[in-house]
Amino acid sequence: MAGMARAAVAPRSGRWPAQMDGPWTVAMLESLPDDGLRYEIVDGTLLVSPSPRPRHQAMLTGIVRVLLAACPDHLQVFFAPLDWQPEEHTSLEPDALVIRRDRVYETGIGDPELVVEVASPSSRRIDRTLKLDRYAAGGIGRYWIADPGDADHEPSVQVYDLVDGEYRSAGEAVGDETLTVTGPVPVTMVPNQLARG
C-alpha cells in the first residue's frame, strides 16, 4: 500500500531466558527469538500470539486503507509491527494506530490518538478486556476493535472513546451496517467491506 508507514524491525536471533526472576520488561523483548510470533507485555506479563490468519489480515488491510484515505496531514497511520511502550513493563503492538507526527521518534513512538486491534480466535478476549483496560490506563483517546467474523458471525467494528479514564461505546456496526466516526480520522466504514480488504 503506497504511502503506508511501516516501522523497520531488526531480526532477532535471541533465545528464551533459562530462568525468569520477576516481571517481563521491554528490554527483555529484544532477547527473544525472531520466530514469527507476536510478543507483547502487559504490566510485566508476557503475551504470545500466533501469526495472523488471512481473514485477520484482510480486515486489517481494509481498515488501514480507510484510515489512509482520510488521514489529516498532522497524523500518521502505522500498522504492526510497531510497539507502543508507555513504561518498562508494558509493550503492546496494535494492529494499526494513528499518531500525531510530532510523536513519532527515531527510536519509537509516543502515545497514539487511536489504536485498532483486529480480533482473532486467539485474541478476542484479550482485546476486549486486558488490552482495553491497558490502553485506557495509558490515556489513548480512541480504541477500535474490528472482528473479521467467521462462519457463525458477521464482521463487526466497535468504537470506544475515552471518557473520564474509561472507554465508553461510541458506536458499532455489524455486516452491512454503516458506522461514521468523526475523530481523530473522520471515516465512514462498513464491516463487510473492510473484511474484503
Domains of the chain and CATH, by start: 51-194 (3.90.1570.10)
Local structure of 62: helix, strand or coil: helix
> For cell 466516526, what's the residue?
181
**What pTM was estimated for this model as a whole?**
0.85
Q: Which of 1-15, 128-142, 174-188 has the lowest mean pLDDT?
A: 1-15
Q: How far apart are CA 150 and CA 168, in angstroms?
A: 26
* Mean model confidence pLDDT for the chain: 88
pLDDT in tens, 31-40: 888 887 888 8
In the predicted structure, residue 193 carries a pLDDT above the cut 50: yes
Name the nearest CA neighbour of 114 among 132, 87, 141, 81: 141
**pLDDT for the residue numbered 20:** 67
Most confidently predicted of 17-21, 67-71, 84-88: 67-71
C-alpha to C-alpha distances, 176 to 106, 135, 156, 159, nearest whole angstrom: 40, 28, 9, 16
Most confidently predicted of 18-22, 117-121, 192-196: 192-196
Task: Name the grid cell of 39.
Answer: 510478543
C-alpha to C-alpha distances, 131 to 9, 43, 153, nearest whole angstrom: 23, 11, 22
